Amino acid sequence: MLRYPNGKKFQPKRTFSKKNVVKKDERFSNRGMTLEGDINETNEYYRSHGIAVIHKKPTPLQIVNVHYPKRSAAVVTEAYFKKPSTTDYNGVYKGKYIDFEVKETKNKTNFPLKNFHDHQVTHMEQVIEHGGIAFTLLRFSFHDEVYFVFARDLLPYFKHTGTNRKSIPKIDIERMGTQIPIGFHPRIDYLKILDKMM
């Protein structure tokens, strides 16, 4: 076995014949980018351009055990959630409080209701009751489509007493929501859609 002077193993470069090369499917470019990453990038754009102040809410954790491999570094090895978090993001835009949840699915034709937790639904109801703006951003990753949907339009799907409803059909989301075009800066300009829908 050959090793470099630094001790690393020598790995010969692999060569591939043309028949082994797989052509990239354009539908799947940017699949690695998560919706949350896109929203964080968009929110940074909004803050840096003085458009809005919107932040991701931190998840409340109770740290139980910490490992110190070096004096200057600490690694949390055990923690648990103090309480259920509410929604993903909140902030202020044009003097209004906004609060929203970000979800994505690999499903092609529907959005599973199990992606939402009861405490998130309750929180969105309370935001609406107090005059805030509550909405969700839903991504269908297979189609690479993102929809802006007001929480007030989604809430009836969670009040499905007496039925076995487990999902929201994509066609319903297309009807009650608005598709957000994917851009460059900002990446997902959801506030532009909010302005149109208000």
**What is the predicted pLDDT for the residue at 60?**
63
* pLDDT > 90 fraction of the chain, expressed in percent and rounded: 46
Please tell me the least confidently modeled range out of 61-70, 162-171, 184-193.
61-70
Residue 145 lies in a domain: yes
Residue 80 lies in a domain: no
Q: Give the total number of structural domains in the chain.
A: 1
> What pLDDT, in 10s, does the model give residues 91-129?
999 999 999 999 999 999 999 988 888 888 999 999 999
For the chain, the average pLDDT equals 81
88: annotated binding-site residue? yes
Is residue 175 predicted with pLDDT exceeding 80? Answer: yes
> What pLDDT, in 10s, does the model give residues 11-46?
555 554 444 444 444 443 343 348 888 999 999 999
Global confidence as pTM: 0.72
Q: What is the pLDDT averaged over residues 169-193?
A: 93
Q: Whole-angstrom Cα distance, residue 194 to residue 140?
A: 20
Is residue 61 predicted with pLDDT exceeding 80? Answer: no
The parent domain of residue 123 ranges over 33-58+86-197
Residue 105 lies in a domain: yes
Residue 188 lies in a domain: yes
Find the CATH number of the domain harbouring 115.
Answer: 3.40.1350.10
**What is the predicted pLDDT for the residue at 91?**
95
**What is the predicted pLDDT for the residue at 24?**
40
Give the angle subtended at the CA of 53 by the CAs of 48 and 54, to the nearest 5°: 110
Residue 122 lies in a domain: yes
86: annotated binding-site residue? yes
Residue 72 lies in a domain: no
44: annotated binding-site residue? no
Q: What is the pLDDT averaged over residues 155-159?
A: 86
Classify residue 178 as left (phi > 0), alpha (psi -120 to 50) or beta.
beta
Residue-wise DSSP of the chain? --B-TTSPBP-PPP---GGGPPPPPGGGTTTTS-HHHHHHHHHHHHHHTTS-EEEEPPP-EEEEEEEEEETTEEEEEEEEESS----SEEEEETTEEEEEEEEEE--SSEEEGGGS-HHHHHHHHHHHHTT-EEEEEEEETTTTEEEEEEHHHHHHHH--TTS---EEEHHHHHHHSEEEPB-SSSSB-HHHHHHHH-
Residue 116 lies in a domain: yes
Residue 193 lies in a domain: yes
136: annotated binding-site residue? no
